[in-house]
Structure 1
Amino acid sequence: MKLLILSLCIIANLSNNGKASLESFMPTKDNMILADTTKGSDKSCSRPCKFNVKPRRCTYDFEISPSIEENGRPALTINNLTPGPAIQVCLHDIVIVKVKNKVPNQDVTLHWHGVEQKGTPYMDGVPMITQCPIVFGSTYEYAFIASSPGTFFYHTDSVSHQSDGVYGSLIVDQPQPLEPHASLYDYDRSEEHTLMVGAKFNELLTGHLEGVNQIRPDNLVVNGDEMDTKIFVMQGYGYRLRLINAIALECPLLINVERHPMTIIASDANPLQPVITDAVRLYPGERMDVVVRTDQQSGGYWVRVSGEGVCEGLSAHAMLLYSGFNYTTMLEQGPNPESETNYDTITDSQHLPSLREASPVPSVKSVYLSIDKNSPKFKDADIDFSYRSDAMSKKPFFPAVLSSVKSVVQINGKNFLYPDAPYLLKPRDVHPNIICNVGEENEQMEPQCLQVLKAQANEVIELVLGNEGFNTNDSYTFHMHGQKMQVIATWQNPKNVPVSKSEIYKLYSEDIVTRNERNPPLKDTFVVPNKGFTVVRYTPIYGGSWLLECRSCSTILPVAILINVPISIPKLVIDALPSCGNYRPADLLLN
């Protein structure tokens, strides 16, 4: 622990140019970074955030283990809870989470979804990219600065582990005068008014070696319950609600509050120009902050969550309860299905303008990412289960899972391959044969490779993600680690026919597609519609190895690229982090 805390001090030398100090992210430049000077006061990190108060160290102990819920369902839990313990801190607090893995025969990591990890890129929680996996029986200590306010959450890197219950909310508050939309609401009760939606399955996805893609959730839950979550309010006030889609599969959600319009004020922890709507659509991993005014007759009202995509037909409910209302009858009667689907307006945040204007961009580097389902061509003889050493000559390796599926989602015709050593910490130990540069994937004969996009600090990169739709009718949600992206444009072919790379660039260059370069929304989670495309701009501000992934694209073979921005991490920090020893990912052992 001492070494890891010392590493936090070392990151005073880390940033985009390796010289900015950790104190620059603090409200004051005091050398006692880790000192708790709040003696005699409430030690809880969940507290009203104030000016001129030193940050606190917020320490949490997580034990991830299998469990049986009260209804008999198997689950993976954190401290016997799913969702896991809520983390609520103030801006600039230091978050320390000690994670112990008690899941037999499983490796885990925790990713802090939306957290920028300024100065701590090795705390992002991606196995074999930013850290070694946490093997059964071992403990890993995460430590990072809550450097940006907003609504975040955490989950395991594994889609199966997250689907089985390992996720929880992470809220970073700031002093109320700093909130850009504070005038729109009277109460921001993050602990009570955060609605995290998850999916439940009849069986554990963890441990399934095949057929996971065919397993579908059978119900939705809000804060772990189908209908028991309660939001207590008083009549005549405005309340800020924080909505989180914590589902790892391609499951968009429609959320509305009965007879109460919502005002959208933020998405993915970034403020937006306020928009009033009847219902909002949240994609997997997306968060949205809304304001609800309690201006209806005193009583009880249903908050309805409806699933789309793989969750089509599933729903969950919470209750908005005015002070003094007895909700017994409301529970007995249940929701009225006829009054819940008539929405005049449904809004998603990807098209909404940001509250702040973007700076002009003199030039951009354009990179195209082709997204589609493909059927890798191979013969049965190409599938090899034997171990081969690096000294032996080898033919292209096709994972055995390809023999049981007709097609897989790929980026530029390849699936992502996790490296044989942590890429961020020990890039020289990564076998060079598994690396392929984005845009040059055709030089790699195998269907999987470590797809790397090399970027420089402050270089403006425009990613054009084309969901061409030649072999699929699915839309896909992407998540960017470490930093937000500007969503410049999103377009879907109204003719519902596939589009090629050349057609996409022609549409984009001729201004046929609406572009927002003035005040584009800042997002870390965005959707790429089928037979269409999304254009995002990314300007690396600080170094690291950051994953751009489509978690919901596949539970079989990863779909992602790695954006690498040069950084120099002190040897003292690397030595303080747990080493992988002789650990290798399963696909590398067979490759």
Structure 2
Amino acid sequence: MKLLILCLYIIANLSYNGKASLESFMPTKDNMILADTTKGTHKSCSRPCKFNVKPRRCTYDFEISPSIEENGRPTLTINNLTPGPSIKVCLHDIVIVKVKNKVPNQDVTLHWHGVEQKGTPYMDGVPMITQCPIVYGSTYEYAFIASNPGTFFYHSDSVNHQSDGVYGTFIVDQPQPLEPHSSLYDYDRSEDHTMIIGTKFNELLTGRLEDINEIRPDNLVVNGDEMDTKIFVIQGYGYRFRFINAIALECPLLINVERHPMTIITSDASPVRPVITDAVRLYPGERMDVVVRANQRSGGYWIRVSGEGVCDGLNAYAMLLYSGFNYTNLLEQGPTAELEQDYETIIYGQQLRSLRDMSPVTKVKSVYLSIDKNAPKFKDSDIDFSYRSDAMSKKPFFPAVLASESVLQINGKNFLYPNAPYLLKSRDVNPDIICNVGEESEHKEPQCLQVLKAEANEVLDLVLANEGLHTNDTYTFHMHGKSVQVIATWENPTNTPVSKADFLKLYSEDLITRNARNPPIKDTVAVPNKGFTVLRYTPTFGGSWLLECRSCSTVLPVAILITVPLSIPKLVVDTLPSCGNYRPADTLLN
């Protein structure tokens, strides 16, 4: 209760003061009483959003536990559901989610994918970065403001847990007049017209020590079903559909609606200039809102989802049903051959243009991030098959996985989770494990806590370079806490490896097309094989934020930590749950 009251007080201050942040929140008296000014608890905050209405406090109770589906397949569920319960709130509502972990021998956290955590960076849900993990039998309470509208989703920070079913939709609506593309559609029924796509495996991945990248999913599912999701429309009207790729592995998706063109209106919750297409591609973690107009002959049509990458050859379907049509006929006929056509144009988020123009930037700091597979050199005596502890002598440590395979790395290193939550207890983090981005070569071990220090409002161009010397894959990265501008995406037309020297030459000679005027604003981006993606990142509020490739590896994490100065009051730190005697494995898996 103490934590709840504290969070509500902070959030109430932020909600009614657009310039407020944790930096400005300091108690005026040691004995001040924190009061809950929101009044009233609402089990469900799904409602039409209106002007001049006070935000609601939206409380949800989540219990994550193992379960067995009707077909005998093991899974993880939230309140016995997978996907988990949908969260739908209005802009500026206070979201409170109490998460209880009932998964034996497993630690969990929940990440709110795409949600800005302005003023509440400790609610981002990254273990040992923003919080202590939720251990078996305990409960953690998330509380934050729904400060940006759009289509989001939540998921476990663990790739295994998410793959086993811990994910769900999170929609933040706003009053209809504020929607920039509301004139393009007649209805926005997010409860019925949201498609969240996941995978199914024939075994429970939770608790496996092997690399699950070698395990292929068996099925794609839309809202938990392979072919049973129904979307009802009335002829002659336009509808807003929301697509979410909630797959944790490197599994891009192609989506099309039979005989119905789509008008793309948002990507990763950010409005874009409308584009009409027959098919869209979504990378893992991406979301896209489209408008579909029911202007065909009354009947039933298939919405097809086709997998690529590790999901190649897998398909899932939903039914677009006009009012009054008997869908049993559609099921008897099955998907039509028309869905097998080759599409001349497939649109994905990084090809779009933002709805608003950006201000010119005069000073930019460029940070080059080399992404490639490496096999670090070491002696057999360096391999340690046990976890390290504070009692062991210091020596170079090489995880056993490096003895048999190469691993994907950034600047030649894998990310190492700290021994204490970096955001809350930075002084307790062992300084020997930290390496600054760009100076990783000075660190002897293949893993380190890769930290990029940034100042508030400093403009950074993050060059994600998929050099492709030892790999031929495209990789998807997610930026926590705040969206970025995608300035450029380039793939080598000769399909040969690229280097930093190649990038500098191409960039200086304007051979890489850049869009700094109206770049798409995203939090999830793809980095093409043997190519570059340039992200412009301007931190406007403090925190510790991961830039991670969750789908790159389940063996050793691939990420960097961007830190922006932030002074969290001791009152806040002391009120948040502490780790106690919890000590994570030094190679805490992502």
Same fold (TM over 0.5): yes
Aligned to 2:406: 407
The one-letter code matched in structure 2 to 1:318 is A
Aligned to 2:53: 53
Q: Kindly report which structure 2 residues correspond to 1:60-209, keeping only aligned pairs within 5 A, or say none.
A: 60-209=60-209
Report deviation, 1:99.
Answer: 0.2
Q: Structure 2-normalised TM-score?
A: 0.95
Partners of 1:454 and 1:302 in 2: CA distance? 48
Sort the Cα spacing of 1:443 and 1:49 in 2 relative to 1 into closer, same or farther, 3 A: same
Report deviation, 1:46.
Answer: 0.3
Aligned to 2:424: 425
Unmatched runs of 5 consecutive residues or more in structure 1 = 22-30
Sort the Cα spacing of 1:72 and 1:387 in 2 relative to 1 into closer, same or farther, 3 A: closer
The one-letter code matched in structure 2 to 1:35 is T
Alignment pair present for 1:285 and 2:285: yes
Alignment pair present for 1:330 and 2:314: no
Aligned to 1:466: 465
Any idea what SS the aligned residue of 1:111 has?
strand
Aligned to 1:19: 24
**RMSD of aligned residue pairs (Cα, Å):** 1.9
Aligned residues: 578
Report deviation, 1:386.
Answer: 5.1
Aligned to 2:556: 557
Aligned to 1:24: none
The one-letter code matched in structure 1 to 2:233 is V
Any idea what SS the aligned residue of 1:552 has?
coil
Partners of 2:108 and 2:450 in 1: CA distance? 22
Partners of 1:45 and 1:389 in 2: CA distance? 46
The one-letter code matched in structure 2 to 1:503 is D
Alignment pair present for 1:35 and 2:38: yes
The one-letter code matched in structure 2 to 1:423 is Y
Aligned to 2:237: 237
The one-letter code matched in structure 2 to 1:466 is A
Partners of 2:271 and 2:116 in 1: CA distance? 16
Any idea what SS the aligned residue of 1:553 has?
coil
Structure 1 stretch displaced more, 501-510 or 340-349:
340-349
Cα shift readout 1:265-322 (whole Å, capped 9, x = no counterpart): 0000000000000000000000000000000000000000000001000000000000
Report deviation, 1:329.
Answer: 1.1
Cα shift readout 1:346-405 (whole Å, capped 9, x = no counterpart): 1011121100001111110000000001111112211124566546642200112222x4
Cα shift readout 1:461-512 (whole Å, capped 9, x = no counterpart): 0001100000000010000000000000000001100011110121112111
The one-letter code matched in structure 2 to 1:182 is S
Partners of 1:75 and 1:420 in 2: CA distance? 30
Sort the Cα spacing of 1:186 and 1:72 in 2 relative to 1 into closer, same or farther, 3 A: same
Partners of 1:580 and 1:262 in 2: CA distance? 48
Partners of 2:20 and 2:514 in 1: CA distance? 31
Q: Is the 8 A contact 1:455 1:563 kept in 2?
A: yes
The one-letter code matched in structure 2 to 1:501 is K
Any idea what SS the aligned residue of 1:457 has?
coil
Identity %: 80
Report deviation, 1:533.
Answer: 0.4
Report deviation, 1:43.
Answer: 6.7
Any idea what SS the aligned residue of 1:370 has?
strand
The one-letter code matched in structure 1 to 2:532 is F
Sort the Cα spacing of 1:456 and 1:200 in 2 relative to 1 into closer, same or farther, 3 A: same
Cα shift readout 1:133-170 (whole Å, capped 9, x = no counterpart): 00000000000000010000000000000000000000
Partners of 1:34 and 1:362 in 2: CA distance? 43
The one-letter code matched in structure 2 to 1:371 is I
Sort the Cα spacing of 1:5 and 1:360 in 2 relative to 1 into closer, same or farther, 3 A: same
The one-letter code matched in structure 2 to 1:219 is N
Any idea what SS the aligned residue of 2:210 has?
coil
Q: Kindly report which structure 2 residues correspond to 1:451-530, keeping only aligned pairs within 5 A, or say none.
A: 451-530=450-529
Report deviation, 1:587.
Answer: 2.3
Any idea what SS the aligned residue of 2:462 has?
strand
Partners of 1:177 and 1:20 in 2: CA distance? 32
Partners of 1:144 and 1:252 in 2: CA distance? 30
Aligned to 2:570: 571
Q: Is the 8 A contact 2:251 2:310 kept in 1?
A: yes
Aligned to 2:318: 318
Cα shift readout 1:554-580 (whole Å, capped 9, x = no counterpart): 011000000000101111111111110
The one-letter code matched in structure 2 to 1:420 is N
Report deviation, 1:15.
Answer: 5.6
Any idea what SS the aligned residue of 2:505 has?
helix
Sort the Cα spacing of 1:205 and 1:15 in 2 relative to 1 into closer, same or farther, 3 A: farther
Report deviation, 1:177.
Answer: 0.3
The one-letter code matched in structure 2 to 1:301 is Y
Cα shift readout 1:383-441 (whole Å, capped 9, x = no counterpart): 124566546642200112222x4111000000000000000001000000000000000
Partners of 1:588 and 1:213 in 2: CA distance? 17
Report deviation, 1:125.
Answer: 0.0
Partners of 1:114 and 1:589 in 2: CA distance? 23
Q: Is the 8 A contact 1:258 1:340 kept in 2?
A: no
Cα shift readout 1:229-269 (whole Å, capped 9, x = no counterpart): 00000000100000000000000000000000000000000
Alignment pair present for 1:296 and 2:296: yes
Report deviation, 1:341.
Answer: 2.7
Sort the Cα spacing of 1:385 and 1:508 in 2 relative to 1 into closer, same or farther, 3 A: same
The one-letter code matched in structure 2 to 1:135 is V
Partners of 2:288 and 2:278 in 1: CA distance? 14
Structure 1 stretch displaced more, 390-399 or 127-136:
390-399
Sort the Cα spacing of 1:299 and 1:406 in 2 relative to 1 into closer, same or farther, 3 A: same
Aligned to 2:226: 226
Sort the Cα spacing of 1:588 and 1:498 in 2 relative to 1 into closer, same or farther, 3 A: closer
Sort the Cα spacing of 1:437 and 1:36 in 2 relative to 1 into closer, same or farther, 3 A: same
Aligned to 1:25: none
Any idea what SS the aligned residue of 1:189 has?
coil
Report deviation, 1:337.
Answer: 3.5
Structure 1 stretch displaced more, 328-337 or 423-432:
328-337
Report deviation, 1:5.
Answer: 2.5
Any idea what SS the aligned residue of 1:465 has?
strand
Partners of 1:588 and 1:519 in 2: CA distance? 40
Sort the Cα spacing of 1:190 and 1:128 in 2 relative to 1 into closer, same or farther, 3 A: same
Q: Is the 8 A contact 1:10 1:573 kept in 2?
A: no
Report deviation, 1:3.
Answer: 2.6
Partners of 2:163 and 2:201 in 1: CA distance? 8
Report deviation, 1:339.
Answer: 3.6
Report deviation, 1:588.
Answer: 6.0
The one-letter code matched in structure 2 to 1:464 is V
Alignment pair present for 1:378 and 2:378: yes
